[in-house]
């Protein structure tokens, strides 16, 4: 059998920092690890482990030494924090934005877990990065709108079903309905849109793809029945045909061009933000106070609400069906 070289193993083994954290935890737990045991655990050569230990001692300044009688490594001094590399502006910004993602699971058990992990991570950065999270909270903030609470237990069940390709059954209340009904689904994909999680799958009774909002799912059960996801199904692409979440289940690949003229503040804002992957903005005058924004989407209902949100600053050019829907909805608002 040919000998596997270190370079050949690199693609299958853990990264350097992950190995170093593993070694650090083993030493902190007084397991007295040595190169042989660590190499077996991390699936690398003993030479690699020796390089990692040398790096920890010489570059990170950790009081690491080999204790002969115990045949393992230990710390000779208390190590309360773990040193890390210098963090630059981009890394710091990314870390802060990742921390803000905790807000999407506020009110769930996952929030507590994520906060504990983040606290452990930032404690290890003391002395290398001169900031306090409290200072950043005063300097930066996010105000997401329409955030839904995530049922962690439900998310776990459905994620397991998607990964293991197991059928699920639950009670579902359609939007606008006061009653729930039993649905049996082959779950293909989980997607988050506008701070709400959705399940996309084959409805076995209706024999068509359907999309289900987590807040309206109750009593989910993972069943024994298994299935195969069609080769031509692409979750992100399926969501890409909608402006938000609504797609045409009878024509999941159908798209039509939408052209909306925006003026004033709306023209400025649409240049700065992206509402859909297909979005294209074309200036209609030299000052940029009038623009045309184009989308390629399936259904139009969500675009009716989006267009109305701009008030008199928006005018639908195409298609006529969207223009008629916006006009009809505006009439109802005025009449009400």
Tens digit of pLDDT for each residue in 254-310?
Answer: 888 999 999 999 999 998 888 888 899 999 999 989 999 999 988 888 899 999 999
Q: What is the 3-state secondary structure (H, E, C) of 181-197?
A: EEEEEEEEEEEEECCEE
Burial level of 49, CB count in 10 A (0-12/13-18/19+)? buried
Written as six digits, the tokens of 91 are: 């890394």
Element (H, E) at 286: none
CB 200 within 8 A of CB 188: yes
Tens digit of pLDDT for each residue in 218-240?
Answer: 999 999 999 999 988 888 888 77
The more confident residue out of 216 and 88 is 216
CB 190 within 8 A of CB 197: yes
Q: List Cβ neighbours of 123 (8 Å cut-off, separation of 6 or more).
A: 81
Written as six digits, the tokens of 272 are: 């700065």
The more confident residue out of 279 and 151 is 279
Q: What is the mean pLDDT of the chain?
A: 80
- Is 15's pLDDT higher than 70? no
Question: How far is residue 245's CA from residue 319's CA, in Å, rounded to a whole number?
Answer: 20
Question: How far is residue 196's CA from residue 198's CA, in Å, rounded to a whole number?
Answer: 7
Q: What is the mean pLDDT of residues 38-64?
A: 90
Return the axis-axis angle of helices 320-335 and 301-308, rounded to nearest 10°. Answer: 60
Question: How far is residue 224's CA from residue 165's CA, in Å, rounded to a whole number?
Answer: 10
């Amino acid at each position: 059998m040919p000998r596997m070289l270190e370079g050949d193993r690199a693609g299958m083994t853990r990264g350097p920092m992950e190995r170093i954290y593993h070694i650090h935890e083993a030493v902190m737990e007084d397991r007295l690890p040595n190169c042989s045991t660590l190499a077996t655990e991390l699936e690398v050569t003993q030479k690699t482990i020796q390089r990692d230990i040398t790096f920890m001692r010489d570059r990170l300044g950790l009081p690491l030494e080999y204790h002969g009688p115990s045949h393992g490594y230990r710390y000779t001094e208390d190590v309360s924090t773990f040193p890390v590399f210098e963090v630059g502006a981009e890394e710091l910004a990314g870390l802060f934005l990742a921390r803000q993602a905790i807000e999407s699971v506020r009110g769930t058990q996952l929030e507590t877990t994520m906060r504990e992990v983040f606290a452990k991570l930032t404690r290890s950065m003391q002395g290398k990065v001169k900031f306090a999270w409290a200072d950043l909270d005063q300097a930066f903030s996010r105000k997401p709108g329409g955030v839904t609470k995530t049922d962690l237990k439900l998310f776990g069940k459905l994620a397991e079903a998607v990964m293991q390709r197991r059928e699920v059954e639950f009670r579902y209340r359609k939007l606008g309905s006061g009653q729930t009904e039993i649905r049996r689904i082959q779950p293909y994909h989980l997607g988050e849109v506008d701070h709400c999680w959705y399940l996309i799958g084959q409805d076995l009774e209706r024999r068509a793809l359907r999309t289900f909002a987590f807040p309206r799912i109750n009593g989910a059960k993972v069943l024994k029945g298994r299935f195969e996801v069609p080769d031509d199904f692409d979750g992100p692409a399926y969501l890409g045909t909608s402006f938000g979440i609504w797609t045409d289940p009878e024509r999941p690949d159908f798209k039509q061009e939408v052209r909306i003229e925006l003026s004033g503040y709306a023209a400025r804002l649409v240049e700065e933000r992206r509402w859909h992957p297909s979005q294209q903005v074309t200036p209609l005058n030299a000052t940029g106070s009038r623009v045309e924004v184009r989308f390629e989407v399936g259904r139009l209902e969500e675009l009716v609400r989006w267009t109305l949100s701009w008030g008199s600053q928006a005018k639908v050019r195409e298609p006529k069906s969207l223009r008629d829907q916006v006009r009809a909805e505006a009439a109802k608002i005025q009449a009400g």
